């Protein structure tokens, strides 16, 4: 039985992350990239999970106000250990310090995703446990010198050289990459749109 000919919907990704672009392309969602310019400062007393979800929602909402006809996707990823948020490293020394803290230990990656359209914003958070191998200072320095850690939360990327730092994960691998695809598709459907292994379409 043939699928109904539904109209494709304009989708905007409110992020400049190449990993998120690749993941959307991987599941066939045609999209435009328009990074959202928001303040990502942690509010006083704000816990890690609410912080991440707020940023994802703010990114999606900000672009949805400018492009009300589009379905806008916002996402935010943080690395948390000992209750502290590890953001993107500010320097080589900062990256080394983060990786030394993660070495041989388990931490949590929280990735929030939000979908906004016509005044509605739906969101959710994926939590993934990541266990690091025990690393020597020389290994950490060599990894940092690849340049890969400098634009990534927690100073590592699981989809690149950083894959060799990880002993195991428990949870959604794609959330660690930066976009929980299963949760995203669920939010798109909850918003009233159709995703059937291709572009997002109007119902």
Taking the chain (203 residues) in runs of 10, the rounded mean pLDDT of each run is: 70 95 97 95 96 98 96 97 95 98 98 96 98 98 98 95 98 97 98 95 90
Query: Residue 1 falls within a domain, yes or no?
Result: no
Q: Are 31 and 12 within 8 A, CB to CB? A: yes
Task: Give the per-residue pLDDT at 170.
Answer: 98
Look up 76 and say whether it is catalytic: yes
Any domain includes 4: no
Count of domains for the chain: 1
Catalytic residue among 39, 76, 93, 94: 76
Residue 149 lies in a domain: yes
* Residue matched to tokens 């266990």: 131
- Residue range of the domain that includes 147: 11-202
Domain-embedded: residue 94: yes
- Cα 30 to the center of its chain, rounded Å: 18
Q: What is the CATH number of the domain that holds 108?
A: 3.90.950.10
Q: How far is CA 83 from CA 56, 78, 79, 80, 118, in A?
A: 20, 11, 10, 6, 36
**Considering the domain boundaries, does residue 6 fall inside one?**
no
Compute how many other C-beta atoms are within 10 angstroms of the C-beta atom of residue 106: 14
Q: Alpha-carbon distance 146 to 28, whole Å?
A: 31
> Is 5 part of a structural domain of the chain?
no
In a domain, 147, yes or no: yes
């Amino acid at each position: 039985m043939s699928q109904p000919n539904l109209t494709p919907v304009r989708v905007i990704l409110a992020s400049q992350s190449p990993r998120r672009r690749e993941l959307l392309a991987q599941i066939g969602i045609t999209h435009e990239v328009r990074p959202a310019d928001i303040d990502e400062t942690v509010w006083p007393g704000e816990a890690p999970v609410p912080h991440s979800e707020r940023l994802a929602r703010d990114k999606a909402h900000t672009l949805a106000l400018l492009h009300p006809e589009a379905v806008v996707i916002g996402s935010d990823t943080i690395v948390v250990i000992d209750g502290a948020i590890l953001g993107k490293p500010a320097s080589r020394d900062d990256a080394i310090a983060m990786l030394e803290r993660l070495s041989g230990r388990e931490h949590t990656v929280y990735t929030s995703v939000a979908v906004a359209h016509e005044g509605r914003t739906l969101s959710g958070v994926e939590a993934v446990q990541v266990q690091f191998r025990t690393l020597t200072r020389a290994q950490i320095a060599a990894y940092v010198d690849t340049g890969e850690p400098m634009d990534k939360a927690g100073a590592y990327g699981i989809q690149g050289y950083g894959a060799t730092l990880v002993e195991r994960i428990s949870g959604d691998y794609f959330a660690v990459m930066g976009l929980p695809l299963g949760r995203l598709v669920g939010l798109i459907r909850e918003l009233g749109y159709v995703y059937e292994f291709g572009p997002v379409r109007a119902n």
